[in-house]
Amino acid sequence: MDLNLPVNQALQGLRMLADAKDIVIETRLASDLPAVDGDVGRICQLTANLLANAIKFTPRGGRVLISTRPVSHRGGPGVELTIDDTGIGISPEDRQKIYNRFYRGKQRGTEGEKGTGLGLAICKEIVNHHRGLLEILPNEPTGTSVRVWFPACAADGETSSSNVQTICLHTARANCA
């Protein structure tokens, strides 16, 4: 699967939310990505959640950059999805708890924002299911940088970074749901 497919699906669904806040969404999607073993719908759900958080916690007139690129990790090829924003960021105290179910950050500027505190816990589960990595870091001087890495499929259709035999998906569902 081309990781850009679910990324573009998530972008289409969230552009109006960004437009309502005058947030510029910039994309830098590499065209030379290796195929990734994954469920298009779940990766779209992951991307939509991360992108919605970036938009939600970025003030009016801010910027969100979403990019993909080939990256080797764990001794094998893969693809990295990065979402950088100019939002309020995540405090070091909150960063230690953000993957806990029902945890809602106490960062100033988050008051009144709707949510259940399940989004990042679900994202972590999706990434783990795909044998990937999820990293959330400060984006200096302000904002957050989210990096997600997925292993690439080997030429024989197996996932290159695992002894588990899985077939790479080359078909996609029409939407995130």
φ, ψ for residue 113, nearest 5 deg: -75, 135
Residue (of 177, 169, 174) closest to 39 by Cα position: 169
CATH topology for the 4-151 domain:
Heat Shock Protein 90 (3.30.565)
Q: Over the stretch 124-143, which tens digit does the pLDDT of each residue have?
A: 999 999 999 999 888 777 89
Give the global pTM.
0.79
The owner of tokens 């910027």 is 63
- Where residue 121 falls among pLDDT bands split at 50, 70, 90? confident
Distance, in Å, from the CA atom of 27 to the CA atom of 82, rounded to the nearest integer, reads: 10
Q: Over the stretch 148-166, which tens digit does the pLDDT of each residue have?
A: 999 998 764 554 444 333 3
Q: Where are the domains of the chain?
A: 4-151
**Is there a contact between 126 and 46 (Cβ–Cβ < 8 Å)?**
yes
